[in-house]
Structure 1
Amino acid sequence: MLLTALLLLLPTGCRSDDADPGSALGPADGSAAGSQGSPAARLTPEQRRAREQRVLDQRARAVREGDLPLFLRSLDRRDRAFVARQRRYFANVVQLPLERFDYRVLPQQWDVTRRPGWGPDAQVPQVDLVTQLRDFDTRPVRRTVGFAFTWVGGRPRLVSDRGAADEPMYAGAPAPWDLAAVTVRRRPGVLGVFDRRTAPSADLVMSSVEQGIAQVDEALPFTWPGQVVVYSVEDSAVLDSFTDVPGGSIDLLGAMTFPTYAAPESSPVASTRMLVMAGSVAAGQPFLGRIVRHELSHVALGTRDDGAPTWLSEGLAEYLGARSVPLDQRIIPTAAVERAREGDARLPVSGEFNGSDQEWNYALSWMAVDHLATAQGEDRVWDLVAALHDDGRGTPDEAQDAVLRRVVGMDSRQLAARAAARIRSLYG
């Protein structure tokens, strides 16, 4: 599957005026040095985890039942910012179609500094958070989060979601609802997530994605779920959390797709989600619809183009994105037209696709697929996708010529020349 990256973090933060960076947490086995006489200190690590687990079970039940008072019941209220973040988080997640929402306290402790106000018995266990979006995630998504527990009379209470030095306790990619206040919208096949600045354009984005799903579906020779989670956000905390951005700068992108893994490390993909940038929304139609269909094409193809040269994956997405646009409205960069006039075109190298020639690479790849679809039919394009995918084994760039000759009757140089000629023919 071609990935065009991103994702996010649990609502966090704490006041720094009472932080003591030199005060480290106690032993990671759950004991509390210097407080052997307190009720909490007399508990075994297993007993502590059991009581902390009951607190988080209550919290999870509150989310599932939409019960804010129950959700807040276990919080220490002295840190108003912490309480405000938790209220925000609750308001966010109760909007989601949650199939799963559970916590499991782990034996390991987070390596963070603590605040003196947490008390000598404070513990910060790592916690397994399991979520699953109904109809959108094919499997549960597990992330490691953390909470600081303070102990009052042998009872644990949640006192923070960050360390004293503002260390985030989150492993893996966070989601928008972990970082900012969001509004969640739902239409058939589409779950939209918006922040305060993008909420006014929610109807436009949702209708564009819903229509895009139908248009992409019409062009595919296979069936797919036809469902996607789409983020439309401008909050800097969310955008700054995206990693592995094509080209290195999210500000230069119009949209992108990214996998949501079942676990933080390499694992099965639970869903492929997409981000639509504010600039694409502001551009309106037909640009918005075109870029949405491009990203939806990646979602729909899933693993079917894994291992194929990047020019084919991106060229096909460009082709499917533009397919519904009238020919006289299919815009191509002026720089690509000028480059096509120079001659000696070559299909882009996969490892350099999103480099300095990215604009040209996208244009030439699109026209390569467009030429094949026009001259030989769309079925031949799909034959080429299957051949270069090669049942998941893939085809490196250096081996693609043999496949191209067998499937479409030309090598990469000849196809690139025809793609450049098509640019000149259509755009001058």
Structure 2
Amino acid sequence: MVERAGRRGTWWMVGLVVLAVAAAGTTYSVLGRRAEEPATAGPPSPPVTRPSAAAGSSGPPGDKRMLAEIDAVLKTRASAVRTGQLAQFLQHLDPQNSALRRRHQQLFGNLRKLGLRHLSYRREGGWVPEPQPQHGSEARAFRVMMLVQVTGIDPAPRFVPLGYTFAERGGRWLLVDDDDLAGEQDRGTYREPWDLGPIEAVRGPGVLVVVPANERANGRRLVGEARRATPAVRAALKRSPAGVLVIAMADQRSMDTGWQTGGHPAAAVAVQNFSPVTAAATRFEVTGSRVVINPTERTKADRFLLAHEFTHAAMAPLGGKAPTWLVEGLAEYVEFRLTSRHGDHQRVADRRRTLLRQAIPAVRRLPTDNDFRGAYDEQSYGVSWIVVEYLADEYGISTLNALYADLARGPEDAAARERALRQHLDTSEAELVAAVKEYDG
């Protein structure tokens, strides 16, 4: 359990938002979007709600009528899913596009299986001409925000970016395409499980596992593993996620190609869920996480891997600015506690002893965020685990949680992190490193 072929990870949004502390949680104010993301970019970031340069809702009367009809179509489709009306869901699709209609019939069935508390669609203020000429010169492409909340799992609706194209057919505005580039800048290569063919949704206490339709047995297995992981997180951290959607699909598109660590795909990723906190959807907060298991790992993923990822999910609402050594070290700490308590104490003890003898003496500083992206990420994980275990033993989990919450709010600069260490631990980074070198486990 100590070593894995693929590493797990949690992905934080970087460079796209300004953190603002609110009583309800960590709130993100959207400023803009970087022109280029790093190779290890994380999950889709919140949409920037702004009119397109091409057109907007304040156009001529024809545009206003078009926008009103499109809004009505989106509202009707959301209502159809909530009430189970397939014909209503399909009635505004292009009748000549049989492939589109098949996809959306499957989409309807998949969304119904999830057990949704909320589903709605919001159109952005502007539009652009459809880049695919087969839909006609008057076709219009829109960025659309899908807001979806799974009953018993999501504390608030999370946003999902879409690119929808509408065209007028016989005096009615119909949905004619759903893969337009209008949504690609948010989506990357990741696709939601309900877009990847027939699914099964298997529920357990505080967890919903989504698997391919022919893998329900694996879904039940993962629910059982999750039931053993969640108490371990709660016992170690004195907190746990309210609910987690676990995605274990066979399709490689369920994992973004950028979700890598140490140069190879992660075994699983805790992907943050963003929910709008303003009516205009200009600010978002992290309200939880969903756990996406690498398709190659989906039948092998166990309670230990889930405990690691559920730790990320539990801590995510505190903010995304905590140093990676603390983020990953805490998840390793929870995972190894569970491993030890499930009869593999000796392996954990051996791993600790090896790190204390070989890695810790060479440590000159706490692992940096960049250390987890290079060739030495495995050692960085191990060193971070030892540091967090020392902190938990020496200061207690309450102090560790307070330190995490403070660092998670940011800022991310070294001086601020040093101040947090002194405030909560009455020590500096150099003194902490020296103390860890004296730690005997």
Q: TM-score range by the shorter chain?
A: 0.7 to 0.9
- Pairs within 5 Å for 1:21-420: 28=55, 44-116=62-134, 118-119=135-136, 121-163=138-180, 167=181, 169=183, 172-173=186-187, 175-195=192-212, 199-221=216-238, 223-240=239-256, 243=258, 245-247=259-261, 249=263, 251-262=264-275, 267-283=284-300, 288-304=302-318, 307-326=321-340, 327-330=345-348, 337=355, 340=358, 343-354=361-372, 355-374=374-393, 376=394, 380-387=396-403, 389-390=405-406, 392-393=409-410, 396-397=413-414, 412=429, 415-416=432-433, 419=436
Please state how far the C-alpha of 1:237 moved relative to its aligned partner: 2.0
Which residue does the alignment assign to 1:33?
none
Q: Deviations over 1:211-267 (max 9, x none)?
A: 21122112233x455311111123122223x64x35275x43222212121259872
Please state how far the C-alpha of 1:367 moved relative to its aligned partner: 1.7
Asked if 1 retains the 8 angstrom alpha-carbon contact of 2:406 and 2:420, the reply is: no
Asked if 1 retains the 8 angstrom alpha-carbon contact of 2:153 and 2:244, the reply is: yes
3-state SS of the aligned residue for 2:67?
helix
CA distance in 1, matches of 2:371, 2:201: 34
Please state how far the C-alpha of 1:275 moved relative to its aligned partner: 1.8
Please state how far the C-alpha of 1:196 moved relative to its aligned partner: 5.1
CA distance in 1, matches of 2:406, 2:222: 35
Distance 1:266-1:342 versus aligned 2 partners, 3 A rule: same
Please state how far the C-alpha of 1:293 moved relative to its aligned partner: 1.0
What amino acid does structure 2 have at the position aligned with 1:45? Answer: D
CA distance in 2, matches of 1:49, 1:359: 52
Please state how far the C-alpha of 1:189 moved relative to its aligned partner: 0.4
Q: Deviations over 1:52-90 (max 9, x none)?
A: 333333222221112222222222232222122112211
What amino acid does structure 2 have at the position aligned with 1:4? Answer: W
Please state how far the C-alpha of 1:140 moved relative to its aligned partner: 3.0
Long gaps (5+) in structure 2: 1-8, 13-41, 46-53
Q: Which has the larger radius of gyration?
A: 1
Asked if 2 retains the 8 angstrom alpha-carbon contact of 1:315 and 1:368, the reply is: yes
CA distance in 2, matches of 1:312, 1:96: 34
Long gaps (5+) in structure 1: 10-26, 31-41
CA distance in 1, matches of 2:360, 2:240: 41
Which has the larger share of strand?
Answer: 2
Please state how far the C-alpha of 1:337 moved relative to its aligned partner: 4.5
3-state SS of the aligned residue for 1:213?
helix
CA distance in 2, matches of 1:176, 1:8: 15
Which residue does the alignment assign to 1:14?
none
3-state SS of the aligned residue for 1:184?
strand
Moved more, 190-199 or 180-189: 190-199
Asked if 2 retains the 8 angstrom alpha-carbon contact of 1:333 and 1:359, the reply is: no
What amino acid does structure 2 have at the position aligned with 1:360? Answer: Q
3-state SS of the aligned residue for 1:268?
strand
CA distance in 1, matches of 2:268, 2:387: 22
Q: Deviations over 1:371-404 (max 9, x none)?
A: 3444x3xx53431442464473567556766765
Asked if 1 retains the 8 angstrom alpha-carbon contact of 2:200 and 2:212, the reply is: yes
TM-score by length of 2: 0.72
3-state SS of the aligned residue for 1:90?
helix
Asked if 2 retains the 8 angstrom alpha-carbon contact of 1:60 and 1:102, the reply is: yes
Distance 1:306-1:74 versus aligned 2 partners, 3 A rule: closer
Distance 1:183-1:248 versus aligned 2 partners, 3 A rule: farther
Asked if 1 retains the 8 angstrom alpha-carbon contact of 2:123 and 2:142, the reply is: yes
Moved more, 362-371 or 394-403: 394-403
3-state SS of the aligned residue for 1:139?
coil
State the number of aligned residues.
383
Distance 1:332-1:59 versus aligned 2 partners, 3 A rule: farther
CA distance in 2, matches of 1:183, 1:47: 40
What amino acid does structure 2 have at the position aligned with 1:292? Answer: L
CA distance in 1, matches of 2:265, 2:207: 25
Asked if 2 retains the 8 angstrom alpha-carbon contact of 1:344 and 1:417, the reply is: no
TM-score by length of 1: 0.74
Asked if 2 retains the 8 angstrom alpha-carbon contact of 1:217 and 1:226, the reply is: no
Asked if 1 retains the 8 angstrom alpha-carbon contact of 2:121 and 2:145, the reply is: yes
Asked if 2 retains the 8 angstrom alpha-carbon contact of 1:380 and 1:408, the reply is: no
Which residue does the alignment assign to 1:17?
none
Distance 1:68-1:394 versus aligned 2 partners, 3 A rule: same
CA distance in 1, matches of 2:366, 2:414: 9
